[in-house]
Structure 1
């Protein structure tokens, strides 16, 4: 014996009368063009920024760096005292780049992006961790950094920032 509740039947008939003539949605998500374009535009802008800064890095250019002792460089006109401050760890890096496991092209692209980000965010000291490994990035990173016009100086990092496997970079921040 099944007893049906008369109230349920009334409610069902009322509901069916209320939704009579309503069509079912086939797709209820609206995708606007602006949202898609803004994501694409941001990707284009960030890739253009990286490409603009990647221009400075040539694999054929070799600056005169001291091969004896720790890796160091100071642009013409930069005091040797600034390099000494880097060596002693007086400048504390605000941005870090870890290049472990990257290919040369990836490392070059990431280094360019990091320098662009440092300039954009007014970060004057950064740490580039190239690692030791097969000495490929350890040899290339200083050559790339010496080519960038906004790099004032760099020095092998003190032990607390990576020692032989890292460089502290002093960046010239243009006034806005």
Structure 2
């Protein structure tokens, strides 16, 4: 496709003559990223809840749901284990 210009040859030559020695303007727009809040401290309520949860799971009261029939298997129910 050819570019269509509405300028005459004389005007184009004058423009080129005037633009010799010029350079492109460096992009001077600076985009700042939004500042993120620094999380330095865990909220006291959350910290307390985590301590309560941890004390339960690591205590003698916690009873995990384990298979009581035979040994522990890492196979979906209904699948045969791969023997080597």
TM-score, scaled to structure 1: 0.20
Higher strand share: 1
Q: Which has the higher contact order (CA 8 A, sep 6+)?
A: 1
TM-score, scaled to structure 2: 0.35
Higher helix share: 1
